């Protein structure tokens, strides 16, 4: 059993707590939050867990093997670094840190000490996203033309991060995992509709080598919930609609075929419209799958799918998007690091 | 009865022909197309119409009152100018011309001669879009925060225009009509997935005065058909889903209320989730409504809702979008003309 | 070219006229209607067709090869018998006649004279229904357990027939064609919500040999349009949703597997949930396919898929359903004729 | 605090346990199940609760105020009677008992002892159903014409009860609560597709005074999940789609208006198609609302909305439906008790 200290029992913390509690690999040893009301709630649900409002108690507790950080982003680096320096494995909610420099320092520290550093890019562990990666990497779709995501709803306005850092990080992590490529430039636009608050609507275009393009539409101020990703290949295309209760992933045998052009204005693009197919998906809760993976990484020293580098790649894209958004879409190059 | 000469019986021409034929205001006098197969089809359906492959016959025909141009974009200016110079009223399919300079010349020529120059921004004449304009201009939504449109499907690839000039022109015309404001800058991105062909996927962000922002997502290479526009106001929000057979327009009494912030990190944004309401819409075919309007403009000298200036505004946005797209999203200013 | 006389240019007649007009096999020679306004409309659209308000003109016209009857049900038998007696092939809109006795007489007359007698069970000629028949008869679904249809909307109230004769006839014809079996008993219930008018809501259960059961829910007074058929097999199941613009037919690899029961209350039914698959469908307009078939039957003396016997089987079920409905669901046996 | 003893920690028990645990009104004192694996699971989640495999321990425990019975139907009567005889209030999962005689005995026993007897007709406590009752009883729909429910999916096959007793009981309880009327006859049909097992598909028609008719379609063997109820009034109509994540209840201002008929075959029914409206619903979990109500009934001696009589009315309809189903739809009269 791996003993867990959880810091943060606010919005996402209770989901982590429940999954760690139900997992056969972990023991939910300590829960920390600065809000006494939340600690009381945690105590009622998990009377066997120790409770504290001082996270230092967790760092110095010899009994704790791994620390889970579910606090606001601006605290991630400080808490994670302390955890690593005290010899604990670390799982951090997304995004991993506020800056790419911070992410690099955490990666180095974890590497030096041989500890697992993992970021909670939850969607990567869903059956839907894992199936999509399998289809893309297996060549089922042919060459990928575009990745187009919309993630909008009447969401919780954040004060410390904008909608890109809050929502687009999900799409970026899904894109990173399923396409396995990094963009070379980003153009982003957005707007804030509450004075002195961060942008609540944003649009990102990510340019890749060749003609691959990705786009992400995020919005905290939408009347309906949309969570739809289209992935267009030159052989097949995917629609991943996360709102659907079942058949979340549909594969369309649709596309175009291009013949050599003999003369101008002669239509030589032909259209294919074939069957649609919705593969059966593993419906296990993503966090459960993620925790099994986290446990295996800790026990066997395996490299995490969503390791520090995955967290770093996401933060680099978020940084570039933020810079571009401040200049109304002016493209920002991404180093090919 | 207004005698009509229709030039172009290809993709859209047959819809225009059918509506002019069924209209009590018009007589479909002549149909012109360079393709003899298409002329044969037209002849079978409209034995009473004259048929020709030479558009000059229409221009010089004293009997013809108005000319309808449903040909490729690159021919619009030349044909429309000839029509006006021969004293005919003109209805042109979208976009009105290839350049804003051409549109200005047509506006001037029509104005000088007292002729009606109208562009077929079809969606403006749907019951849905007219209802949305009514709701927006009546203040039902409060201040508009954003206009967000997605128009994607496995569409006909065009050789002479890109997806912006083919599809985004619809969203631009809907936006222009419903919001009644012109943007001051545009950032656009896109990609082509067929060598030597125009862009088949594109994303436009349009910046307006204040915090109003618009976004348009167009794609010829999508496996599913999406035609959805979200309009977010600070009091209510609209979802216009043109794929829905009924209840195309839904008004959500949802939003946020912002209180004065006493101290940082204190959540002072509250969420409202109220009723949803789908107004009954006029389901008349848009072209039918448009032709009634065209007839009235001709008869009474009324100014067309989608007059040359509406066509010009759209072309200016398309030009700016194209320029920005060539520079991967670098924003392009729009003159406040 | 087969010369057609069309009797009835009301609700469905215009669709028939348009398809006969566009067909290369037929010539729309004469249109008959008692309503002069409708004749005027027909004349404008088909100036080449002869028009009459007296159907006898059609019967005696030597030039006419086949007569299409699109009039109220109570006139079907009389008109069809006259047509056959005058040596014309006949296509009748559904249901073929008011009684099974009438249908038998028409079948006999047509047979005696070697004429084609066909009923316009339109849905049978859709790509969706033909694909379903192919899947069912090919054994893809295994043994069929049930056929369950809902066909409801705010429909046109009829004065001379109830909702069973107006709507359920569609489901019965689809069921007859796809399952290829006839029921041995029917229980039906229904209600009328307009005084002195026929039932506007009805429910039919059809019992077959073995455990196969069918159910049909029809309603003229529903706020939404539903046209959905579920077909459950012990290996796979189908959902046919005719409202969907594409993917109308979905095949689910779902079901149960039953093991021998060792002891009571031991759960020995296991559930299978596999992929879903939506086959590409022929999207040709059903009437167009039907007319090609009608032409071939006339030319080659082929037996029509929806011949008089298909019409008769449907009418027998309708008669039994009506009798059962009058006794609040008391089952009515169907002769195994 | 009301001390609760829960019998049955199988399928539904865990939901009851969680809600009792989180409720401020109740203390989850004891959990009983005959399956040791389930007890272990309960122990891990609720370490503060006593656990037992012998339900007698709960009956004799002076500390227990109320007993919740979440066991198979055939045990309901025996357990509930013992609970009442030991002076405990009782909440029983649906259906209340196997027979109406048993329900009457429980009602009498509870009445004699002044104890609360409540049946867990969960849907009655949803925001959706409460809103529908409000609309119906407030006259918003006018006179009710029909109630039409479909509740199908690939559900858990039961061995001891058929699909009517398992699923239709939900629709019956919703109908009973929203319409406030009892039927005078029932016609039901159904089929079993697993040898020696109860019916897995069934159709019920319920006849009421006047022309009101209700229909219920239930199916354990469907490839998709449908939970849709249409309620047609002569002024407005409701669609309640429980699968929708939001806007579960939609009110359509649609219908027909009937004028006096002057002459036969003259269409005097006119159609109204107005706005649609989706009222904001209370999204509280139904069980939470139900437990607040249960607590209030116990504390104040209020009559429960879903009291023994509600349970009895449902069982009477289930009994009649079962009898009719055995005779292929022959209508069974219901006493006007």
Per residue in D45-88, pLDDT (tens digit) is 999 999 999 999 999 999 999 999 999 999 999 999 999 999 99
pLDDT in the model for residue B53:
96
Q: What is the pLDDT of residues A8-29, one digit of tens each?
A: 999 999 999 999 999 999 999 9
Q: What is the pLDDT of residues C63-118, one digit of tens each?
A: 999 999 999 999 999 999 999 999 999 999 999 999 999 999 999 999 999 999 99
Same domain, C276 and C139: yes
Q: Is residue A281 within 8 angstroms of chain C, CB to CB? A: no
C205 to D196: CB separation less than 8 angstroms, yes or no:
no
Q: Which residues contact D301 (CB under 8 A, 6 or more apart)?
A: D114, D116
Please state, in angstroms and rounded to a whole number, the distance separating the CA atoms of residues D3 and D5: 7
Sorting pLDDT into bands at 50, 70 and 90, what band is D165?
very high
Please state, in angstroms and rounded to a whole number, the distance separating the CA atoms of residues C321 and D5: 52
Please state, in angstroms and rounded to a whole number, the distance separating the CA atoms of residues C122 and C207: 24
Closest CA to D281 of D128, D95, D149: D128
Q: Is residue B34 within 8 angstroms of chain A, CB to CB? A: no
Q: What residues pair up with A217 in beta bridges, in sequence order?
A: A150, A203
| Residue B27, domain extent | 2-120
B278 to D277: CB separation less than 8 angstroms, yes or no:
yes
Nearest-by-Cβ selection for B280 from D273, D278, D279: D273
pLDDT in the model for residue C160:
85
Low-confidence ranges of chain A (pLDDT < 50): none
Name subunits touching B (3+ CB pairs < 8 A): A, C, D
Name subunits touching A (3+ CB pairs < 8 A): B, C, D
Sorting pLDDT into bands at 50, 70 and 90, what band is C260?
low
Same domain, D88 and D137: no
B239 to A255: CB separation less than 8 angstroms, yes or no:
no
Count of structural domains, chain A: 2
Residue C299 falls inside a structural domain? no
pLDDT in the model for residue B264:
53
Q: Is residue B47 within 8 angstroms of chain C, CB to CB? A: yes
What is the CATH classification number for the domain harbouring C175?
3.30.360.10
Name subunits touching C (3+ CB pairs < 8 A): A, B, D
Residue D290 falls inside a structural domain? no
Q: Among A148, A157, A198, A203, which would you mutate to test the B interface (most chain B Cβ atoms within 10 Å of its Cβ)?
A: A203
Nearest CA in chain A to B257: A194
Residue C224 falls inside a structural domain? yes
Nearest-by-Cβ selection for C274 from A273, A276, A280: A280
pLDDT in the model for residue C261:
58
Q: Is residue D24 within 8 angstroms of chain A, CB to CB? A: no
Same domain, C19 and C95: yes
Please state, in angstroms and rounded to a whole number, the distance separating the CA atoms of residues C304 and C289: 12
Same domain, A131 and A277: yes
Please state, in angstroms and rounded to a whole number, the distance separating the CA atoms of residues B131 and B124: 10
Please state, in angstroms and rounded to a whole number, the distance separating the CA atoms of residues A157 and A171: 18
pTM (predicted TM-score): 0.94
Pair C29, C57: CB distance under 8 Å? no
Exposed/middle/buried for residue B166 (C-beta within 10 Å: 0-12, 13-18, 19+):
buried
Does residue D97 have a pLDDT over 80?
A: yes
Same domain, A99 and A142: no
Please state, in angstroms and rounded to a whole number, the distance separating the CA atoms of residues A182 and C265: 56
Residues 80-139 of A with CB under 8 A from D: none
Same domain, C37 and C92: yes
Same domain, C132 and C276: yes
Q: What is the pLDDT of residues C287-316, one digit of tens each?
A: 999 999 999 999 999 999 999 999 999 999
> Going residue by residue through chain B (337 aa), what tens digit of pLDDT does each one get?
999 999 999 999 999 999 999 999 999 999 999 999 999 999 999 999 999 999 999 999 999 999 999 999 999 999 999 999 999 999 999 999 999 999 999 999 999 999 999 999 999 999 999 999 999 999 999 999 999 999 999 988 888 899 999 999 999 999 999 999 999 999 999 999 998 899 999 999 999 999 999 999 999 999 999 999 999 999 999 999 999 988 999 999 998 887 765 555 555 788 888 999 999 999 999 999 999 999 999 999 999 999 999 999 999 999 999 999 999 999 999 975 5
Q: CA angle at residue B275 from B270 to B279, to 5 degrees?
A: 135
Nearest-by-Cβ selection for C47 from B47, B225, B245: B47
Distance from CA of B21 to the nearest CA of C (A): 9
Distance from CA of D277 to the nearest CA of B (A): 4
Q: Is residue A1 within 8 angstroms of chain D, CB to CB? A: no
Q: Among D277, D281, D282, D283, which would you mutate to test the B interface (most chain B Cβ atoms within 10 Å of its Cβ)?
A: D277
DSSP state of B93: E
Q: Which residues contact A286 (CB under 8 A, 6 or more apart)?
A: A122, A123, A124, A125, A126
Q: Is residue D299 within 8 angstroms of chain C, CB to CB? A: no
Q: Is residue D196 within 8 angstroms of chain C, CB to CB? A: yes
Nearest CA in chain D to B278: D276
Residue A297 falls inside a structural domain? no
Q: What residues pair up with D2 in beta bridges, in sequence order?
A: D26
Same domain, B97 and B196: no
Residue D295 falls inside a structural domain? no
Same domain, D324 and D190: yes
Does residue D261 have a pLDDT over 90?
A: no
Pair B252, B267: CB distance under 8 Å? no
What is the CATH classification number for the domain harbouring A54?
3.40.50.720
- Phi and psi torsions of C131, nearest 5°: -65, -40
Q: Is residue B191 within 8 angstroms of chain A, CB to CB? A: yes
Residues 198-227 of A with CB under 8 A from D: 225
Q: Which residues contact A307 (CB under 8 A, 6 or more apart)?
A: A107, A117, A118, A119
Q: How many CB pairs under 8 A join A and D?
A: 9
Distance from CA of A287 to the nearest CA of B (A): 28
Choose one of A72, A103, A120: the last residue of a domain. A120
Q: Which residues of A touch D49 (CB under 8 A)?
A: none
Residue C291 falls inside a structural domain? no
Residue D260 falls inside a structural domain? yes
Q: Which residues of C touch A128 (CB under 8 A)?
A: none
Same domain, A162 and A174: yes
Residue D289 falls inside a structural domain? no
Distance from CA of B229 to the nearest CA of C (A): 19
Choose one of A71, A98, A120: the last residue of a domain. A120
Which helix or strand (DSSP H or E) is residue C77 part of?
A: helix C76-85
Q: How many CB atoms lie within 10 A of CB D134?
A: 12
Sheet holding B117-120: strands in order across? B50-52, B26-32, B2-7, B66-69, B89-93, B117-120
D277 to B276: CB separation less than 8 angstroms, yes or no:
yes
Nearest-by-Cβ selection for C48 from B47, B243, B246: B47
Distance from CA of B226 to the nearest CA of C (A): 12
Q: What is the pLDDT of residues C1-36, one digit of tens each?
A: 999 999 999 999 999 999 999 999 999 999 999 999
Out of A218-227, A262-271, C238-247, D7-16, which region has the weakest mean confidence (pLDDT)? A262-271
Same domain, B133 and B176: yes
Q: Which residues of B touch D278 (CB under 8 A)?
A: 275-278
Q: Which residues of C touch D324 (CB under 8 A)?
A: 329
Choose one of D75, D96, D120: the last residue of a domain. D120
Same domain, D77 and D225: no
Closest CA to C306 of C144, C91, C115: C91
């Amino acid at each position: 059993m791996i003993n867990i200290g959880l810091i943060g029992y606010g919005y996402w913390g209770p989901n982590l707590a429940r999954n760690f509690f139900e997992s056969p690999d972990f023991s939910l040893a300590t829960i920390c939050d600065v809000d006494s009301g939340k600690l009381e709630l945690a105590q009622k649900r998990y009377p066997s867990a120790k409770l504290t409002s001082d996270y230092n108690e967790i760092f110095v507790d010899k009994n704790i093997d791994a620390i889970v950080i579910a606090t606001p982003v601006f605290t991630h680096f400080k808490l994670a670094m302390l955890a690593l320096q005290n010899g604990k494995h670390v799982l951090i909610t997304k995004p991993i840190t506020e800056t790419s420099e911070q992410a690099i320092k955490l990666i180095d520290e974890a590497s030096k000490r041989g500890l697992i550093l993992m970021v909670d890019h939850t969607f990567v562990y869903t059956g839907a996203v894992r199936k999509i990666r399998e289809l893309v990497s297996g060549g089922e779709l042919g060459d990928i033309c575009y990745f187009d995501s919309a993630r909008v709803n009447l969401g919780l306005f954040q004060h410390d991060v904008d909608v890109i850092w809050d929502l687009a990080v999900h799409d970026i992590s899904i894109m990173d995992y399923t396409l396995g490529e990094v963009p070379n430039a980003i153009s982003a636009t957005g707007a804030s509709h509450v004075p002195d608050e961060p942008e609540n609507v944003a649009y990102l275009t990510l340019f890749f080598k060749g003609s691959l393009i990705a786009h992400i539409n995020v919005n905290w101020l939408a009347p309906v919930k949309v969570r739809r990703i289209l992935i267009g290949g030159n052989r097949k295309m995917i629609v991943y609609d996360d709102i659907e209760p079942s058949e979340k992933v549909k594969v369309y045998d649709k596309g175009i075929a291009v013949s050599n052009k003999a003369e101008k204005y002669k239509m030589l693009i032909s259209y294919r419209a074939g069957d649609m197919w919705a593969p059966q998906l593993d419906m296990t809760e993503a966090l459960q799958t993620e925790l099994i993976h986290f446990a295996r990484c800790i026990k066997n020293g395996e490299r995490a799918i969503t390791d520090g580098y995955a967290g770093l790649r996401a933060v680099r894209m978020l940084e570039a998007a933020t810079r571009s958004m401040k200049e109304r879409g002016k493209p920002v190059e991404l180093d090919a690091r």
